[in-house]
Amino acid sequence: MHETHARMAGKVCIVTGAASGIGRAIARRLAREGARVVLADIASEPIEGGTPTLEQILQDGGEADFVPTDVGSTAQVESLVAQTVERHGRLDVLVNNACIRHARPLLELDEADWQRLIDVNLGGAYRCSRAAVRQMIEQAPVDEVRGRIVNISSQHGIIAAPGDLGYGVTKAGIAYMTRQIAADYAPHQIVCNAVAPGKIQTGQGGRALDPVVMDRAIRRTPWPRLGRPEDVAEAVLFLASSEARFITGAELMVDGGWTAA
């Protein structure tokens, strides 16, 4: 069982894209600190394989629910927040992690694929944030905060990812959305920050393991290793916790120094 002094004890957290990779690590880390975690994803099986996130958290003695959710659907997102509040009474933290990737340069990116990227990555964060803020704004504050949003942006919302237009555009949009929500809702005691991962090795295949992509990432990252999902999860935990009391509208780089070099 979790100790009462755990950093997220009693907090209710939604993590989108929680089945795999970074989202899976975030959900498990929050649960280990005592959070009640609502796992939102279109499927429960991890892309990289292994035990489903829900099963793993329960085995570890944590508290979690799984709610099948397509963040591209307004109805499903609103149902996710409604179910969370019905079961747990409030929503303390939303982690907007769900995203897709379709790496193409401008001239090879079909409009349908462009629209899907915008709708899931950027639209998903918009839908989830809107539903969460509607709930948070009505809640009593805890430690001066009614609710927190942590968006997963990317270093590729800041610098180019060769041959990959759509993903970076959506992540740049999420960084701006973070600042705007933070500014608009600070008077209501709602916090909004972002974590921007660099090259994170999640165990998934495809472009992530392309030798050209890997070589560039290794050359560009000053730290002597690439990132792990747990590195991102630790940053999210900090921003989701009461330790980050006077931080809002920030984008925290978790990239081993890539953007600093």
**158-199 tens-digit pLDDT:** 999 999 999 999 999 999 999 999 999 999 999 999 999 999
Cα–Cα distance, 101 to 120 (Å, whole number): 10
- Picking from 181, 97, 179, 175, the residue whose alpha carbon sits closest to that of residue 136 is 181
CA 100, chain centre distance (Å): 12
- Determine whether 176 is an active site residue: no
pLDDT tier, 3 (very low <50, low <70, confident <90, very high otherwise): very low
Cα–Cα distance, 21 to 33 (Å, whole number): 19
Task: State which amino acid sits at residue 144.
Answer: E
Return the percentage of the chain with pLDDT > 90, whole number.
Answer: 90
Cα–Cα distance, 92 to 200 (Å, whole number): 27
For residue 225, with 0-12 CB atoms within 10 Å meaning exposed, 13-18 middle and 19 or more buried, which class applies? Answer: exposed
Q: What is the DSSP string of 182-224?
A: HHHHGGGTEEEEEEEE-SB--S--GGGG-HHHHHHHHHH--SS
**46-83 tens-digit pLDDT:** 999 999 999 999 999 999 999 999 999 999 999 999 99
Selecting among 126, 167, 176, 185, the annotated active-site residue is 167
**Structural domain boundaries in the chain:** 12-260
Nearest 10 degrees: CA dihedral of 2, 21, 150, 88? -40
pLDDT tier, 246 (very low <50, low <70, confident <90, very high otherwise): very high
CATH homologous superfamily, domain 12-260: NAD(P)-binding Rossmann-like Domain (3.40.50.720)
